[in-house]
Amino acid sequence: MTGTPTVRWVTDSPQQMFDDAAAILSSALDGDSDAVAGTFDAVVDRAGLAGAYDVAWCLAATMIGDPVPPGACALDFPGIEQAGYDARWVARFVSAYANADLDTARALFGAAVADGLLPECLLTLAGSTVATLRHRAA
């Protein structure tokens, strides 16, 4: 990719959310998973889980792109149950974004927190977003 990663405006959240999402994308583009995790940790320290949710929502928006494709996106896919928890979570979270299904997205986020797997899910979301951006650029 030759351009700077951009993050779409998806909520009325403060600029810090977009800066955090851009930092996460930059670190993920560099392959620096420790920096991705560190940025998410800093977000949680500063803004709590709500802040991490906002950044995750922003990454989902970046992955889907603009405009959002018409029609409903499936929350389940053939063979999805064989994928790891984090991959299933990302697929369902991004589908919830594409469907504007806030209740499902919040439930998925809460489940990942309760299962103790949110860090892995967020890292996979960042990686999936970067893979999508690279695919689009190719």
pTM (two decimals): 0.85
Name the CA dihedral angle for 47, 52, 54, 57, rounded to a multiple of 10 degrees. Answer: 180
Residue 115, in any domain of the structure: yes
For the chain, the domain total comes to 1
pLDDT at 7: 45
Residue 88, in any domain of the structure: yes
How many Cβ atoms are within 10 Å of 87's Cβ, its own excluded? 15
Residue 45, in any domain of the structure: yes
Residue 33, in any domain of the structure: yes
Residue 6, in any domain of the structure: no
What pLDDT, in 10s, does the model give residues 28-81? 999 999 999 999 999 999 999 999 999 999 999 999 887 777 666 766 667 888
Residue 7, in any domain of the structure: no
Full domain range(s) for residue 133: 14-137
Residue 27, in any domain of the structure: yes
Residue 3, in any domain of the structure: no
For residue 60, which of 16, 111, 110, 98 has the smallest C-alpha distance?
Answer: 98
pLDDT at 104: 94
